[in-house]
Structure 1
Amino acid sequence: MLWRFILQDAVSLMSDATTSSFRALARLLRYARGYRRRIIAASACSVINKLFDIAPEILIGVAIDVVVNQEQSFVAGLGFESAREQILILGALTFFIWAGESLFEYLFQVLWRNLAQRLQADLRQDAYEHAQRLDMGFFESRSSGQLVATMNDDVNQLERFLDGGANAMIQVGVTVVAVGAVFFVLSPLIALLAFTPIPLIVWGAFYFQRKAGPLYAEVRERVGDLSSRLSNNLAGIATIKSFTAEAREAERLRQASEAYVEANRRAIRISSAFIPVIRMAILAGFLATFTVGGMMALRGDLNVGAYGVLVFLTQRLLWPLTGLAQVIDLFERAMASTRRILDLLAEPIVVRDDGGRALAEPVRGEVTFADVSFRYPGSGEGVSEVSLAVPAGHTLALVGATGSGKSTLIKLLLRFHDPAAGEIRIDGQPIRELELTSLRRAIGLVSQDVYLFEGPVRDNIAYGRPDAPEADIIAAAQTAEAWAFIQALPQGLDTPVGERGVRLSGGQRQRLSLARALLKDPPILVLDEATSAVDNETEAAIQRSLKRIAHQRTVIMIAHRLSTIVHADQIAVIHGGRVVERGTHGELLAHNGRYAAQWRVQTGEIEAADASLA
């Protein structure tokens, strides 16, 4: 009855675990289909190694039998009559068994570890490449720290399990089956006694697994929170210092770190209780074999050598089961991490690149927004029924208050999002039908929030054309009015810019961003507040260069400073996600609407500032 109760409870606990950790394992195995041969080879080496590992205990019992029974021993029945010959044969067998165990231990170590390295590298690469294909809405709703933790720490956690935990799980199973078979051959009664603790051990394993699973899932979440806090604080260190918020941010980090420690503490408390409980169950099985088997040997019902084998193998059978605690610990941590990794890989790609056609060459750059509507899921902001047409080679300026929808139109043009209604066309071709690569190659973006990659100036300018000759890089830098300050840098084009361009001023970063877009030589150039971070002299220089390049391409500009767009062929005023005014600078001033009011405010501020300086 006790066995039935324990087994039923274990099955119940197992079914609970299957819905979480075992389901994650099944998902991982489906992902790892391409590694099937490596997994089978590594598993086979683990099995053979464990069989060799068990064999010496059997040989010890056989040796005892030889010493006690000599010519009547088990080995004598195989044709080796003298005791001396039997011992020599057992010695030779011992050598080959130990050599075989060492060989297959080397093989399974190499196979499992290489598999762990290969799988973690491919899994991280696949997760990153999948993340690159996700729409911008995904990144706007996730912290970068959580994503970094998933692609780095979670993948490493899985690697640690494959390095040792997978082999341990296989070898525990092999031990139970192989040793159990020897037991039942030698003495079914002692086999029953030795196996009595196993249902309790299995029940305990699944019980602790069920308790530990949610705790380790929380541990992974706390790791993500901690990574996010560190990432954000290091990126914003200048702001922290300027507001003398070091102590406050240190306290926030301490709280995140303590939350991680506390989550780990709860998990450790559960996993650490497993070995002491299981140790007592093992003791019960060992004592049963030791005493009952000893009595049977004294009565002559059991061969002395067989008794020795059973005593040695009882520990070999039961003691490795204490390793279930560490195995389950590794398994739970790995499966919690695996769920996060595979959940990232399962994120749906909203903006799909389904192998559309390339833009017809040559790309003229005509852009049309036809009744385009889009709303962000969280805030509900966006654009509604926007219709705009930009002839090839013309300049369109978008103006309006912050949050009016200007940048949303640019994101839709680049297909960072797809509109809920309406259509965007380039040269008459709907952009949904175009290859994303072809679409985005035709557009050069200079954003207000300039991102420079760590590395030299040269690589940042040539980011869109890595194979561009130096002459073209210099020409782009000259057009963007960046060449003068680049020449003044210690190493010129080879000067490192630092992380996110921290070694350069805001205006210098802006000009490098413009040079990067110009080197790409796109037929459509998008400027999102491209001159917001430069001084008046540099702005005037950039405006001169923009006038030169605007004759060769379509330019879409977003600007708050209206003085930068007075020469645009068309100006559209966006308010509340809709186009409320449209025309040239002169036409909009004559209309005396929102644009004219904003122009009066800005020119009035300039006049007031001039008067105060005088």
Structure 2
Amino acid sequence: MNVIPAAEQPLRSLWKRHRVYRRRFILAVTMSTINKVADVVPELLIGAAVDVVVRGDASFVGEILGVESRYSQLGWLAAINVVVWIIESASQYVADVLWRGLAQGVEHDLRVEAYDHAQHLDMSWHESRPSGSTLATLNDDVNQLERFLDIGAPAIIQTFLNVVLVGAVFALSSWTLLLFAFTPIPVIVVGSLVFQRRLEPLYDRVREAVSDLSSALSANLAGIATIKAFTAEDRERDRIAAVSTAYRTANTDAIRSSAAFVPLVRMAILAGFTCTLLLGGWAVLRGDLEVGLYSVLVFMTQRLLWPLTDVATVLDLYQRGRASTQRILTLLAVPITVPAGTTVLAKPVQGRIELRGVRAGYADGPDVIHDLDLVVPAGETHAIVGTTGAGKSTLLRLVLRFDDPRAGTIELDGTDIRDLDWDSLRGSMAYVAQDVYMFAGTIADNIAYGRPDATRAEIEAAAEAAAARDFIDATADGFDSWVGERGVTLSGGQRQRLALARALLREPSVLVLDEATSAVDNETEAAIQRSLRVATAGCTALVVAHRLSTVRHAHRIWVLDAGRVAESGTHDDLIAADGAYAALWRVQTGELALDEPSA
């Protein structure tokens, strides 16, 4: 797995990726700047008002405006204050809209980009990690980033602007007070950096813990029937409680460290405020500082330092956002090891499949398939049989290009499937898996999943061909009946028939079936076989079957043993050869039992 280089900060990488939002970001910063300037002006107006009351006609306002009456001077200040408040309120509204729009936009784009990348990753990647871990990245991590962009980023900018603007006022008023009032800031900055380094591994652990919790919850909800069947509710509750406790502990450790920063900030604020109060007051008593300006500096000191109490909260948001962004970008950095090709097959695809010297396995494990040679002429039905672990499903995965072989080639219509685009390869195929998946929706929606533009008549015809029409008509709403998530409202056999209808509706050039009738009864299986012989008359079919009776009419049967072709031929040829296939046939038909000596 690729990771983001250590030198590349996650948020900096985010800035580079989402250039489309830079204009909005600049506008948001501009409005926050206007808002902060307008937010500081009322303190200046308070000082000016105090100056008017104390000095009268000789006040700063009187000299600037050329107004002698103190009542008029205060009236002008009040009018200016109204304008400033209107500007502050309007800029705050616009800034909030811009920041929240920015946060929502980045959240949306990043979630869609991460999901799209995840669904293009090869099957082995998905199978090697809990689905809850990916879900936590796509959901919780993206939400954490959105919260930082919505709250944390504006707070950082506002704090920076506050320091600059208040510092300018202090610099124009008294360099001595500037020095003492700003003394706490380096302490707070250094403390922030120290706490940031301390918080970073803590929030990494928080993200790992929430991923573990999400994975556990997702797995348990998917396996709820097994939990109930084995009366494991109490045991699973305790297991979830343990995982949740680990998450709570990780969060508590991070919060405790983050919260410890607040007292440090408060003590620094107390020191700065006390310096302004005493030193500024003594300057006024000596006549070195005007009373109005002293009032401004006292208010400004609080305005400068008090927002720094939120540094801990902002730091918390930053670390959570940073850790989440790192996980999202790490997901996006995972390479697609089974990329689409660029070659487009001429339509219609004939469906000839040829495997030459194919060797394949999983991850770093041993080979599952060894130097396999196999040809399926266009329009024929070929079956793959063998004992458990012989490599039957692995072969189908290679044909569908869920995985690539370690050696050898697989061709469709004479072209290496690694060179084909997905529309030419998978777009010309239909697949019925052993573990059928149904999406939440209607029966008609699920049948039409591979061909959304199909008419109702075509959907019904596919259901008829898959021997599913009878049970569909028996439901309350027929084809409009709602199918629960994963098809939980249906039996295993019903799900298989709907999956078969979904495949047949696509009118594929190649039909790939992996134990497609294993969950149906003998009568339904016979009906499906009759329909399949008609439905597959114009296409190539590659069928993995455990029950040999379902494939006895295949044009050729390939018998796999430990990843190699042990024998091949028609059903009658293989029975006559009296090899591995004949032995399997005798076991399934009960002939072996008749040959065994009685006890």
Name the TM tier (shorter chain). over 0.9
Q: Residue type matched to 2:398 in 1?
A: L
Q: How far apart, in 1, do the equivalents of 2:165 and 2:545 lie?
A: 76
**Contiguous gaps of at least 5 residues in structure 1:** 1-17
Q: Counterpart in 1 of 2:411?
A: 425
Q: Counterpart in 2 of 1:365?
A: 351
Deviation per CA, 1:519-575, whole angstroms, max 9, x where unpaired?
A: 001011111001110011111111111222232111101011122212211111222
**Residues 193, 289 of structure 1: 8 Å contact kept:** yes
TM-score (norm 1): 0.94
Q: Counterpart in 2 of 1:168?
A: 155
Alignment of 1:430-469 (within 5 A): 430-469=416-455
SS at match of 1:75: helix
Identity of aligned residues (%): 56
Offset of residue 577 of structure 1: 2.1
Q: Counterpart in 2 of 1:331?
A: 318
Offset of residue 497 of structure 1: 1.5
Mean CA deviation greater in 386-395 or 376-385: 376-385
Distance 1:608 1:89, change over 3 A: farther
Q: How far apart, in 2, do the equivalents of 1:512 and 1:605 lie?
A: 34
Q: How far apart, in 2, do the equivalents of 1:382 and 1:163 lie?
A: 51
Q: Counterpart in 2 of 1:5?
A: none
What is the aligned counterpart of 2:400 among 409, 414, 439?
Answer: 414
Alignment of 1:49-448 (within 5 A): 49-82=35-68, 83-354=70-341, 356-448=342-434
The number of residue pairs the alignment matches comes to: 593
Q: Counterpart in 2 of 1:562?
A: 548
SS at match of 1:568: coil
Q: How far apart, in 2, do the equivalents of 1:159 and 1:408 lie?
A: 41
Offset of residue 77 of structure 1: 2.6
Q: How far apart, in 1, do the equivalents of 2:278 and 2:474 lie?
A: 89
Deviation per CA, 1:479-499, whole angstroms, max 9, x where unpaired?
A: 111111111111000011211
Q: Residue type matched to 2:220 in 1?
A: N
SS at match of 1:341: helix
Q: Does 1:547 align with 2:556?
A: no
Mean CA deviation greater in 585-594 or 240-249: 585-594
Q: How far apart, in 2, do the equivalents of 1:608 and 1:176 lie?
A: 94
Offset of residue 296 of structure 1: 0.9
SS at match of 1:108: helix
Offset of residue 590 of structure 1: 3.2
**Residues 21, 336 of structure 1: 8 Å contact kept:** no
Q: Does 1:518 align with 2:504?
A: yes
Q: Does 1:575 align with 2:576?
A: no
**Residues 365, 393 of structure 1: 8 Å contact kept:** yes
Distance 1:206 1:20, change over 3 A: farther
**Residues 21, 332 of structure 1: 8 Å contact kept:** no
Q: Residue type matched to 2:437 in 1?
A: Y
TM-score (norm 2): 0.96
**Residues 226, 253 of structure 1: 8 Å contact kept:** yes
Offset of residue 378 of structure 1: 4.5
Q: Counterpart in 2 of 1:42?
A: 28
- Root-mean-square deviation (CA, aligned residues, Å) is 1.9
Q: Residue type matched to 2:306 in 1?
A: W
Deviation per CA, 1:145-202, whole angstroms, max 9, x where unpaired?
A: 1111111111111111122111101000001111111111100011000111111100
Q: Residue type matched to 2:261 in 1?
A: F
SS at match of 1:462: helix
Q: How far apart, in 1, do the equivalents of 2:490 and 2:384 lie?
A: 29
Q: How far apart, in 2, do the equivalents of 1:181 and 1:454 lie?
A: 61
Distance 1:22 1:314, change over 3 A: farther
Deviation per CA, 1:263-302, whole angstroms, max 9, x where unpaired?
A: 1110110011111111001100110111011111110111
**Residues 21, 213 of structure 1: 8 Å contact kept:** no
Deviation beyond 4 Å, 4+ runs, structure 1: 18-22, 605-609
Deviation per CA, 1:116-137, whole angstroms, max 9, x where unpaired?
A: 1122111111111111111111
Distance 1:533 1:51, change over 3 A: same
Q: Counterpart in 2 of 1:12?
A: none
Offset of residue 582 of structure 1: 2.0
Offset of residue 601 of structure 1: 2.1
Q: Counterpart in 1 of 2:572?
A: 586
Offset of residue 21 of structure 1: 11
**Contiguous gaps of at least 5 residues in structure 2:** none
**Residues 359, 367 of structure 2: 8 Å contact kept:** no
Distance 1:79 1:441, change over 3 A: closer
